[in-house]
Structure 1
């Protein structure tokens, strides 16, 4: 029995009983904005949520995914969800950070070093605290976590194996201060650009490169406009599924429970998708003509520059150095000195 089936089976009886007790609420088709295209980790999360939602609600509720930013930029969808004009959005955590800065702890370079680290942090007390912060700060609730993998660098010009090799390249980054400052620590000034404009920017050579996980690079067909990959792995990309808190509070208690349980199933589906697909996608990108490089000395030069320059700058916005140390302790790493 799949994990999704187990979650649905364990919770279905409770959910159905609660629905009977509170009366039949109106059926709903939840609109979910999705930044990425078909075949992406975001889509896998969305489909996992939809399947669990339909099963747990006995077919009463469903969801429709609007892929490829059809409903607006990722940051725009946070605003739309906050005011209740959009039900849900699947987006990169760095696009939530401007609205709820404490989630930026997950975007600090070289904090999360594995999928297991990401699961521990998002599904434990730290993830719960950040969810509460996001409700209070932005009016949206995180109900599931997408694990998209490490952001790796791509470019159209040359292999990159060292910080020196980065010089002269024009790199697109999201409009996120942590990511911008990380590249600055490596000696270049990146170009902030909306996700919806990125493919065209690469195609027209406005920018030479960008960084994203392998699953996203493949789903967005960046191999058509990029030749080189460098496994810098500076951020493990976490992409939450958020629901409008206004929409959530309008649901019955039973339906709220269904949404939360479907979110857990979607999180599990995302982790399994990454485990199943990433190596396969990496091989496919090589077949498509991309050359993959590994940085010299296991990225130590990149790590030292980024952590020294970026971590201290953002202690205050994430809630203090003690918040970072709590994250590091949760995944068995040494604290930073205060």
Structure 2
């Protein structure tokens, strides 16, 4: 799920670009930037999609990121585009409210590159990756409980469920028990410590992936509330897009893609009342699909950027129908223990 949001040019986001935006040409095909249009990049990162949109047409972009590091790094890019780019710190689940603060009430397009950015993955101090030892943090915005808080305080039974649900790790109970034993001796403070604990519990994998991959994914998604953020972000995009406006969403694993698929499928169909309640009026679809099936990266793009391998793009066009309320649970967002609660080892994984 490593998004690789950076741009290809030397001065992207105010410095030498280290990252390549995934499926950029396909995203631009969906968004179809036009002169005078207003677009929202809900996941700015290193500015790859934003730069692509601004270079494609004489338009305006409101770019959002919850990571203050990305906001600081993007200031030179704001200067480069001289009034055409507004950069806002915040969550894309509130993109309509944040855009309104910039004077934008309706948009011609919204782009979302879901999940953690390559800049975050590649910075050891952020604690996202088991490939580089660093503090066990994983917070995109620096607020709320860290991954270390979760692994050191959450009840084993809740930890096992979290790792199974968000990481799809079949040995989640063994992982939770191993974490419980380790933290009883001393707190787990670094990514290297956790990776070693998980690797011993899971054992070697046949597909060559690191044994801690799924556990780290689960913790990152949980710490940042990524799935509920995605569901709310889709609803916010629906609210701000004008009729004919385009939505492009790039996701990186099945949990994310399933939410996007369900949202667009439900929003692109006519909702009718039950035959037992004929007085209920049918609700017109709020989107029509642009991509009937998810768009993946080409072999050439994967060769140039291996992180594009798991990327999936879905796109849709807004109709004139009123926006609807969102039910995250109906889209597949799981209900898990609240990360803000103190779990203090309150149970063991069975």
Of the two structures, which has the highest relative contact order with CA contacts closer than 8 Å and spacing of 6 or more? 1
The alignment's TM-score, normalised by the length of structure 1, stands at 0.29
Greater per-residue helix proportion? 1
